[in-house]
Structures are given as C-alpha cells and as structure tokens.
C-alpha cells in the first residue's frame, strides 16, 4: 500500500495522435505490429512527463520550479532595472519574486507531501469504506475548489473543517461499529480483529482528516 501510494500519478495527461489507415493489404499480425509501434513510440516520448508527475517527486519539483523562478527574477530584475535607470525598482521586484517563489514552493511542496502521507495513513486503517468515501470526497472537494473562481479563504476553512470533522466522526463510528461487526462475522477472533482496527482507526482517521484539511487550505 505504501509503495503504491508513493508511485501514484498526479496530473500527467497522455496525448496520442490517432492512427488512420485505408486500403490496408497487410496481414492482421503485421497491421497490429504497425499500430503497436505507432502508439509505443508516442508513449516512449512521454515517459519523462510521467516520471515528473509521480507524487513522490511532485513536492521537490514544485519547490525547485518556484524557487528557480524566484532566483532568476532576483538577478534579472535588478539588471533590467539598471538598463532602464530603475535599479531600486528592479531590486525590489526581484526580491519580492524570490520571496514569493520560496513561499509558494514550500507551501505547494508541503501540501504534496501531506497529501501523500494522508493517503498512506488512510490505507493503514484497512477500512475500505472509509478509504473509498475519503477518495470520493477528496476528488469532489478539490474539483469544486479548483473550478470555483470566487473561492475565498473562508470557503477553504469551511471545507477544511468538514475534513477534520469527517476524520473524527469516522474514528468514533469505528469504535462503536467495527468490534461488533467483526464479532458477528468471525466470532471471538473477529472481535479481537475488530477491536484492533477500531483502535488504529480512532488514532489514524483524525490525523488523516487534519492532513486532508491542510491540503485543502
């Protein structure tokens, strides 16, 4: 579960051109080979894009991208200002860009790491219902926030509060429901298993909720 989470892909669209052929006289095997080579070559050219979208690499990539842009502006803007007789303005602009790049890179990088940790902690609960509900809610919430052009900090805090509440509520429900559910299915051994899962869930699920809230904000 941990390795699977670390290797998940984020924001990696693959683009393929269509394969159109008419009046083909090749054998089916030859034609399938041509089609396979057509799409394989396109996939090979996009491998680096896929690797760059691995969640485990997303955090350092975000940090380097934003900090790199800030460092570039830090040197470029003063020189540009010197050329146009506005040295102080260029120095101020470059310094602001550097500070903004470092801040944005750290925030986005931290969010990526937090998302990965929360994902793996959720899998640690071994509660399929909780994992599925969390995944659906996360996709829905992030989509709504990204498409909401008028999103405010208050909107983000409301969603974050719901994430925390869902984590605590699921942990509490697990304490009440899982021991009896597993006991009814597997007897005494099931009761022990249910108590163990409930205990783990009571600790981990609220942490996952807090992590999800941090990602949303």
Which tens digits make up the pLDDT trace of 60-93? 666 666 677 777 778 888 887 777 777 788 788 8
| pLDDT, position 185 | 85
Provide DSSP, 104-149: HHHHHHHHHHHHHHHHHHHHHTT-HHHHHHHHHHHHHHHHHHHH-T
Q: Which residues pair with 9 in a beta bridge?
A: 54
Residues in the chain: 217
Are the C-beta atoms of 106 and 63 separated by less than 8 Å? yes
Residue 110 structure tokens = 């931290």
What does each C-alpha distance from 144 to 39, 102, 155, 165 come to in angstroms?
34, 27, 11, 19
Q: Which residues pair with 54 in a beta bridge?
A: 9
- Axis crossing angle, helix 153-216 with helix 128-147, rounded to the nearest 10: 140
The torsion angles phi and psi of 54, rounded to 5 degrees, stand at -60, 135
The torsion angles phi and psi of 45, rounded to 5 degrees, stand at -70, -10
Span 110-135, average pLDDT? 77
pLDDT band at 1 (very low <50, low <70, confident <90, very high): very low
Which tens digits make up the pLDDT trace of 86-119? 778 878 888 888 787 777 777 666 666 677 777 7
Q: Is the pLDDT reported for residue 54 higher than 60?
A: no
* Mean pLDDT, the chain, integer: 76
Q: Structure pTM? A: 0.53
Cα–Cα distance, 139 to 131 (Å, whole number): 12
Which tens digits make up the pLDDT trace of 153-186? 777 788 888 888 888 988 888 888 888 888 888 8
Q: Return all residues near 45 (Cβ < 8 A) that are at least 6 apart.
A: none
| pLDDT, position 7 | 44
pLDDT band at 127 (very low <50, low <70, confident <90, very high): confident
């Amino acid at each position: 579960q941990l390795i699977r989470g670390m290797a998940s892909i984020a924001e990696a669209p693959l683009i393929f051109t269509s394969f159109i052929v008419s009046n083909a006289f090749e054998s089916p095997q030859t034609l399938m080979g041509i089609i396979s080579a057509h799409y394989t070559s396109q996939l090979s050219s996009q491998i680096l894009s896929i690797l760059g979208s691995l969640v485990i690499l997303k955090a350092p990539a975000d940090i380097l991208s934003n900090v790199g842009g800030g460092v570039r502006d830090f040197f470029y803007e003063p020189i540009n200002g010197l050329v146009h007789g506005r040295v102080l303005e260029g120095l101020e602009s470059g310094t602001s860009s550097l500070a903004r790049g470092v801040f944005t890179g750290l925030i986005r990088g931290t969010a990526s790491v937090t998302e990965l940790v929360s994902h793996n902690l959720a899998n640690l609960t071994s509660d399929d219902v909780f994992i599925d509900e969390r995944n659906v809610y996360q996709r829905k919430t992030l989509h709504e926030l990204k498409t909401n052009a008028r999103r405010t900090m208050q909107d983000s805090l409301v969603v974050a509060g719901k994430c925390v509440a869902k984590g605590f509520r699921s942990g509490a429900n697990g304490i009440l429901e899982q021991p009896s559910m597993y006991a009814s299915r597997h007897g005494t051994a099931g009761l022990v298993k249910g108590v163990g899962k409930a205990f783990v869930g009571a600790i981990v699920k609220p942490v996952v909720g807090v992590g999800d809230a941090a990602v949303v904000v």
